[in-house]
Amino acid sequence: MPTTTPSQRTAARPGHLLGYARVSTTAQDPALQHDALTAAGCYRVWSDTASGALAERPALDDVLARLGPGDVLVVWRLDRLDRSLRHLLTLIDDLDGRGVGFRSLSESIDTTTATGRLVLHLFGALGEFERDLLRERTSAGLQAAAARGRHGGRPPVMTPAKLAAARSLLAAGRSTSEAAAAIGVSRATLYRSLKTD
């Protein structure tokens, strides 16, 4: 839940620094983050106890709703806001579109400055570069496997040998369920294979 003191229960005015802290478990203490955010001049600090991968973070939703043009969202470290670079950059881009700045204390990123915007764009370019490399490696791996006669995806459950064994069992009077169990496939798989064979 958001952490406030009685003197902070007024509405935020444009130009304020609003802090956001997050810890993953109740065993972790957000005090270090709170102290750093307060020392940086944050007028109020919101805090969640949730994994960075979780979509539901009520304190983050609250602070994002309160940010207005001229305000700056401040975090102690980038991964406190989001673990995915792509989602992080999307969120910061959305804030920028609303006239809201972003600052990360540990990485010294401040989008209200030209240098901070440059650093953030470099982060974005590196993230896109990493995604392109991953796509290229995946494509090259699939092409190499195909050249060796292997194709992506799971190998088929039903092999010609299994189908032949199932036909022998069925011819010997075994039921479809018994034949499927004997060769290690589901009854539905055996039915499909018999129909398409």
Catalytic residues: 24
**Residue 37's closest CA among 112, 91, 104, 113?**
104
HSE-up (13 A, CA, CB side) for residue 86: 5
Q: Which residues, listed in sequence order, are joined to residue 49 by a DSSP beta bridge?
A: 23
**Residue 127's closest CA among 98, 164, 92?**
92
List of residues 6+ apart from 138 with CB closer than 8 A:
none
Question: What does residue 134 show for φ and ψ, rounded to 5 degrees?
Answer: -65, -45
Residue 82: Cβ within 10 Å count: 20
Residue 14: Cβ within 10 Å count: 11
Distances (CA, A) of 109 to 74, 76, 91, 103, 146: 10, 11, 15, 5, 45
